[in-house]
Chain A
Amino acid sequence: MEALLLKNFLRSKGLMTGLLILFVAGLISLNIGKHFLDKNKEIIEKTAHYQQESIAKNVEFHPKEIGLLLYYVRFGLVNDMPNLVGLAIGQRDINPSLQSVTIRNLEEQKYATDLMNPMYQMLGNMDFSFVLIYFFPLIIIAFCFNLISEEKEEGTWSLVLSQSRNPLKMLRIKILIRFVSVLLVLVLLLMIAKFYLAIPFNAAFLAFILTAILYVGFWFALAWLVASFHKNSSQNALILLLSWVTLTIVVPAGINALTVNLYPVPEAFSTVLESRDGYHNKWDEPKEPTVAKFHQHYPQFSQFKHPEGKDYSWLWYYAMQQMGDDEAAKEALAFKEKLKKRNAFSSTAGMFFPSIHTQLSLNALSLSDMDNYMNFIEKLENFHEQKRLYFYPKIFTEAAVSDENWKKFGLEFYQEQPSINWVKMLLPLLIISILCMFCAKLKFGKDLMAR
């Protein structure tokens, strides 16, 4: 029976075409991912080169004043991108994976991004996670919506019922064949991805694969549940497509709207204002209070004073820049806290909806999620602070530019390890799927013999 059901499946042109289209869409998504990784690599290589070149030029142009030189010099920090990002680009296309900053005030520089084609940001990328989350379910729906109803509508069901003492077994094999065929395409694509995108086979990739398999499994469980209702093909298709629209479009948009309403961030705007006022206004104010505040922040630099009666000094200039950050610090912290709350809320709410949960999980594994970006920003703050602490004394003592070995300032890298919480990642998908199958079992038990 199994062999013949498989034969029947393989001989169906429609189903085979579906698998082929799915496979091709997957290949296209892998290519998009490859392109994204290559572009990022290129940006990093070029920046590494131009950072050295630009420092050398600036040293040449401003050989006398280290304070002036450091006005210009930029230091780059890379948010290292695992190749898994090629499968789930996530926020990496909006948030830059490389930030170059001067030691001037940081707040203004944090959100300065590359020039981007806004079209890409509007449409998003058709990466593998998109194909998995949006396209795989559609194929699964097309494969399963008429699992029983085609038998009823084509007239074979009555003969099946009269012959078989266990028609459920046949249906199980039917859906299993479909499940395995979709799984084969999924695994094949991931294997191609492994080599094409040079993804190391580590815990993150394994978790990625398992999450993808469970997500596909969930849609089959849902299709199995809908089949157990014994509705006709058009009703089944309607129920499944409505589920698709709800799970992949309506609920994510709804949760997003809810998050924005629950945790509004007026701080985003006020941080910018505070930061700007924090230093711009200092030009019109007496210099001493600014320097005094700076000394409060960094007592270790108390011995450096603003020369009395002078209009300008590098100490005052960098103290003024520092105020841009210091006066916005409270708002910036509140902003971060809000973003963390938003994140926590959507990841909790997402657990009940496989599409959201899968997207968030895949992005977390690929380090392309909001958490990674916020960690990177924190790292950038440290990086920036280290550079300040290193250069402040040199600026204040007017150290000679030539005494510094400028060649040592290459790109620095922030490398995060994804934290994999296996239970939190896999259990929600598993529970929902099992629930679907359990309800289906109850339903099938009741009505299976009805023609």
Chain B
Amino acid sequence: MLQAKNLTKTYGEQTALNSLNLTINEGEIFALLGQNGAGKTTTINCFLGFIQPSGGSASINGVSVAENALETKKYLAYIPETVMLYPNLSGIENLEFFSSLAGFSYGKDELSSFLSKAGLQNTAHNQRVGGYSKGMRQKVGIAIAIAKKAKALLLDEPTSGLDPKASNEFSEILRELAQNGTAVLMATHDIFRAKEVANRIGIMKEGNLVSVIDAKDISANELEKLYLQTV
């Protein structure tokens, strides 16, 4: 599970994240909405340990990220907005490489099945990533996250650049992961995708989490209206 307690990040006079309190339980998908600069990526980066919070704490599975950044790596998987891979390696080799970084050693068949599950066509598995489209790289990123079997999944605009069908498949994968007990935190601009896939939705503005809504209590249109009013 993911937990933020009074999580704060300031850059000089500017507050990027203001005393965020948030708990995402096992099996829950939480979508963060907000404009650029609202603090979504900062929140994710605090959980990843990429930036040190100025105050409060982010913890994964009860372990503080700031104090045990390497320990918490075990529990989390991450898909950045743009998945960048090694162009000289094939899709399957990239997956094998990143999995081995996390300490897994899968056979070729397993690796291939992860890629297929992430929606990458079989013909592309053994092609060099240098020739991949953004969407294809994104799918390898998803496969890397699935293969890590992490307790927490952090996503920064994961569906940007995916076509609607791929986005839809991605939602399916997220639901499946959640059913297996993964806590998912997803920053996104896609209101409709958020409504469809998330259990709860938070709207951020200027570093503050302004409102948190249960997805089942609101329609997509109402959510859009609320979002526009908030920001």
A positions within 8 Å CB-CB of B: 1, 4-5, 7-8, 11-12, 154-156, 158-167, 170, 449-451
Report the minimum CB–CB distance from A71 to chain B (whole Å): 75
CB-based contact B100/A4 at 8 Å: yes
- CB-CB under 8 A from A11, the residues of chain B are 88-89
Residue of A nearest to B140 (CB): A159
Question: How many angstroms between the C-alpha atoms of A321 and B102 in the bound complex?
Answer: 85
CB-based contact B141/A159 at 8 Å: yes
CB-based contact B84/A162 at 8 Å: no
- CB-CB under 8 A from A156, the residues of chain B are 84-86
The 8 sampled A-B contact pairs (Cβ below 8 Å) are: A7-B93, A159-B83, A160-B101, A162-B48, A163-B101, A165-B103, A449-B69, A450-B50
Evaluate whether A12 and B96 lie within 8 angstroms (CB atoms) in the complex, with A158-B50, A163-B144 already known: no
CB-based contact B88/A12 at 8 Å: yes
CB-based contact B49/A449 at 8 Å: yes
CB-based contact B78/A159 at 8 Å: yes
Evaluate whether A8 and B101 lie within 8 angstroms (CB atoms) in the complex, with A158-B80, A159-B83 already known: no
Number of interface residues of B (CB under 8 A): 34
Question: How many angstroms between the C-alpha atoms of A164 and B74 in the bound complex?
Answer: 8
Question: How many angstroms between the C-alpha atoms of A405 and B77 in the bound complex?
Answer: 93
Say if the beta carbon of B132 comes within 8 Å of chain A. Answer: no
Q: A161-B73, A163-B144 are in contact. List 8 more A-B contacts (CB 8 A).
A: A1-B97, A8-B86, A12-B88, A156-B86, A159-B141, A161-B48, A164-B73, A165-B73
**Which of A12, A158, A170, A449 sits near B101, CB closer than 8 Å?**
A170
CB-based contact B102/A164 at 8 Å: yes
Report the minimum CB–CB distance from A448 to chain B (whole Å): 10
Report the minimum CB–CB distance from A17 to chain B (whole Å): 14
Say if the beta carbon of B98 comes within 8 Å of chain A. Answer: yes
Question: How many angstroms between the C-alpha atoms of A165 and B102 in the bound complex?
Answer: 7
Give the A-B contact count at a CB cut-off of 8 A.
79
- CB-CB under 8 A from A160, the residues of chain B are 98, 101
CB-based contact A164/B80 at 8 Å: no
Say if the beta carbon of B70 comes within 8 Å of chain A. Answer: yes
- CB-CB under 8 A from B50, the residues of chain A are 158, 161, 449-451
Residue of A nearest to B96 (CB): A4
Report the minimum CB–CB distance from B145 to chain A (whole Å): 9
**Which of B74, B80, B97, B154 sits near A165, CB closer than 8 Å?**
B74
CB-based contact B49/A1 at 8 Å: no
Question: How many angstroms between the C-alpha atoms of A162 and B97 in the bound complex?
Answer: 13
A interface, over-half SS: helix
CB-based contact B88/A8 at 8 Å: yes
Per CB-CB distance, the 8 closest pairs between chain A and chain B, nearest first, are A155-B84, A162-B78, A11-B88, A164-B101, A1-B100, A451-B50, A163-B101, A4-B97
Question: How many angstroms between the C-alpha atoms of A161 and B48 in the bound complex?
Answer: 9
Say if the beta carbon of B82 comes within 8 Å of chain A. Answer: yes
Report the minimum CB–CB distance from A167 to chain B (whole Å): 8
**Which of B83, B89, B148 sits near A7, CB closer than 8 Å?**
B89
Question: How many angstroms between the C-alpha atoms of A403 and B141 in the bound complex?
Answer: 97
- CB-CB under 8 A from A7, the residues of chain B are 88-89, 93
Report the minimum CB–CB distance from B21 to chain A (whole Å): 24
Question: How many angstroms between the C-alpha atoms of A335 and B70 in the bound complex?
Answer: 65
Report the minimum CB–CB distance from B36 to chain A (whole Å): 18
Report the minimum CB–CB distance from A153 to chain B (whole Å): 10
Say if the beta carbon of B76 comes within 8 Å of chain A. Answer: yes
Residue of B49, B71, B80, B100 ringed by the most chain A CB atoms within 10 A: B100
Question: How many angstroms between the C-alpha atoms of A449 and B66 in the bound complex?
Answer: 11
- CB-CB under 8 A from A4, the residues of chain B are 89, 93, 96-97, 100
Report the minimum CB–CB distance from B111 to chain A (whole Å): 12
Question: How many angstroms between the C-alpha atoms of A156 and B98 in the bound complex?
Answer: 10
Evaluate whether A159 and B89 lie within 8 angstroms (CB atoms) in the complex, with A1-B97, A4-B97, A166-B70 already known: no
Question: How many angstroms between the C-alpha atoms of A5 and B88 in the bound complex?
Answer: 10
CB-based contact B84/A154 at 8 Å: yes
Report the minimum CB–CB distance from A161 to chain B (whole Å): 7
Residue of A nearest to B147 (CB): A163
Report the minimum CB–CB distance from A10 to chain B (whole Å): 9
- CB-CB under 8 A from B80, the residues of chain A are 155, 158-159
Report the minimum CB–CB distance from A59 to chain B (whole Å): 76
- CB-CB under 8 A from B76, the residues of chain A are 162
- CB-CB under 8 A from A450, the residues of chain B are 50
Question: How many angstroms between the C-alpha atoms of A136 and B103 in the bound complex?
Answer: 35
**Which of B51, B98, B103 sits near A159, CB closer than 8 Å?**
B98
Report the minimum CB–CB distance from A11 to chain B (whole Å): 4
CB-based contact B98/A163 at 8 Å: yes
- CB-CB under 8 A from B74, the residues of chain A are 165
Question: How many angstroms between the C-alpha atoms of A159 and B93 in the bound complex?
Answer: 15
**Which of A155, A159, A167, A170 sits near B144, CB closer than 8 Å?**
A159
Question: How many angstroms between the C-alpha atoms of A112 and B49 in the bound complex?
Answer: 73
- CB-CB under 8 A from B78, the residues of chain A are 158-159, 162-163
Residue of A7, A154, A156 ringed by the most chain B CB atoms within 10 A: A156
Report the minimum CB–CB distance from B131 to chain A (whole Å): 13
- CB-CB under 8 A from B141, the residues of chain A are 159
CB-based contact A8/B98 at 8 Å: no
Question: How many angstroms between the C-alpha atoms of A165 and B76 in the bound complex?
Answer: 11
- CB-CB under 8 A from B84, the residues of chain A are 154-156, 159
